[in-house]
Structure 1
């Protein structure tokens, strides 16, 4: 039987335990294989939610893909379903890459998450002028780190103390193959639906863009070019991210080693 990660941290009723509720509300059952998937935003989340919806018979394919955005809670497991799930998995990501992806997607494009962040920390903040370094250094309080699911630490999403499989986004091909072999689950690529990634851009590695305003990067993206995740980091920024996401980094390194962490490239 599976063991819950956060249940013993508090003696209050489990259905009022905030850490547990957060984690279970970011989990989905795959009914045909009695499997549980814990989804973490910015970690192939849209691709996997689309794939779960198709596997559960709610939509036919990517042409109905926008259905997933209103149905994150549709496949949330009951306590019994979660505890008795025969297979469980989560996809983790290098924390440095995940935070860079958040900035290039949500802040450069001025998505709702960027405006909510602005309103929460400083309504005079000019999003066009916000650099990646500015964003990182503004995460100076735990509530700021935890305020949005797209940059909230990944360990907060893990419902169980252990999973049948952990996958690394940096080796997503292994995830696709393993899920097909172990639970007959097909992964359907949703990147053309969301355009949240950088796969369609010419990625820039030579210059450093840590202090480049978001507006300038938006112009570059309109021209088909985009800073690589690597190019957004300086030693100072890297060191700060290492501190605020230290537990995510330690867990990722424990499970996968350090080969695919961005720090091995700086």
Structure 2
């Protein structure tokens, strides 16, 4: 059986009114054939796993239908009995430094609605073309925007259970497929070619520092098929700032996975 509900006792209210639990339960999806629960976290292979879940639950058939998942995030959300009785549960965690860099290079550089959400929340307080990764981190930190969007919201908020049957590292995600197939008959179907979210289509730059490069320049680089690697967006100060912002996620990752897979393992909270 699965573990204790992580946030059920965090508020002395009716469970249906417990905001932390309701949020996490909203992102807990059921694989109906096995009853297993998957907690999906944006930017952690979630498109691949949501697509795989939709296929497994007989709602879509082929890659031509893949955009269905974007309108159906709530379709497979677990009920309380499904959460409590699930025979198996799993989640994918990611280095928080790499996750935040991925959000920036994907959502912010491409000027998707996530950028314009920040723009509105700051009352048009910056030049979108001139925004840098350092500026972005500062907005999340000083502007109290850390929980305003699920793509950069701390991963710990998405965990509906205290303990999971299996916690996978995105950094070693290929290890998940055979385990999920053997344990619950769940087939992982790679959706990166459908979503275009992966960095496998661009040349990654592993030299230099890009923390202060405006997104107008980064967008031009991206159109040319090149992007800085996630680590190259950081200098010492910025890495420390993000480590403080996501201290809970760093601790969570190290508690379940190999801390040496983190971008900056020396910044783990002590």
TM-score, normalised with respect to structure 2:
0.95
* 1:97–1:229 contact (8 Å) kept in structure 2: yes
- Per-residue CA deviation, residues 174-228 of structure 1 (Å, 9 max, x unaligned), is 1112111111111111112211221110000111111100010000010010110
Cα distance in 2 for partners of 1:31, 1:212 equals 46
Which residue pairs with 1:158 in the alignment?
159
* 1:28–1:38 contact (8 Å) kept in structure 2: yes
Which residue pairs with 1:101 in the alignment?
102
Deviation of 1:19 after TM superposition, in Å, equals: 0.5
- Per-residue CA deviation, residues 91-111 of structure 1 (Å, 9 max, x unaligned), is 000000000000001100000
Cα distance in 2 for partners of 1:265, 1:62 equals 41
Which residue pairs with 2:228 in the alignment?
227
Cα distance in 2 for partners of 1:143, 1:14 equals 27
Instruction: Spell out the pairing of 1:1-266 with structure 2 (5 A cutoff).
Output: 1=1, 2-141=3-142, 143-264=144-265
Q: Which moved further from structure 2: 190-199 or 62-71?
A: 190-199
Give structure 2 stretches of 5+ with no counterpart. Answer: none
- Per-residue CA deviation, residues 140-165 of structure 1 (Å, 9 max, x unaligned), is 25841111000000000000111100
Cα distance in 2 for partners of 1:83, 1:243 equals 33
Cα distance in 2 for partners of 1:141, 1:48 equals 33
* 1:101–1:197 contact (8 Å) kept in structure 2: no
Instruction: Classify 1:6/1:110 alpha carbon distance in 2 versus 1 (closer, same or farther; 3 Å).
Output: same
- Per-residue CA deviation, residues 84-133 of structure 1 (Å, 9 max, x unaligned), is 00000000000000000000011000000110011102413111111111
Give structure 1 stretches of 5+ with no counterpart. Answer: none
Deviation of 1:257 after TM superposition, in Å, equals: 2.4
TM-score, normalised with respect to structure 1:
0.97
- Runs of 4+ residues deviating >4 angstroms: none
Give SS of 1:150's match.
Answer: coil
Instruction: Classify 1:28/1:93 alpha carbon distance in 2 versus 1 (closer, same or farther; 3 Å).
Output: same
Cα distance in 2 for partners of 1:232, 1:252 equals 21
Deviation of 1:61 after TM superposition, in Å, equals: 2.0
Cα distance in 2 for partners of 1:169, 1:250 equals 16
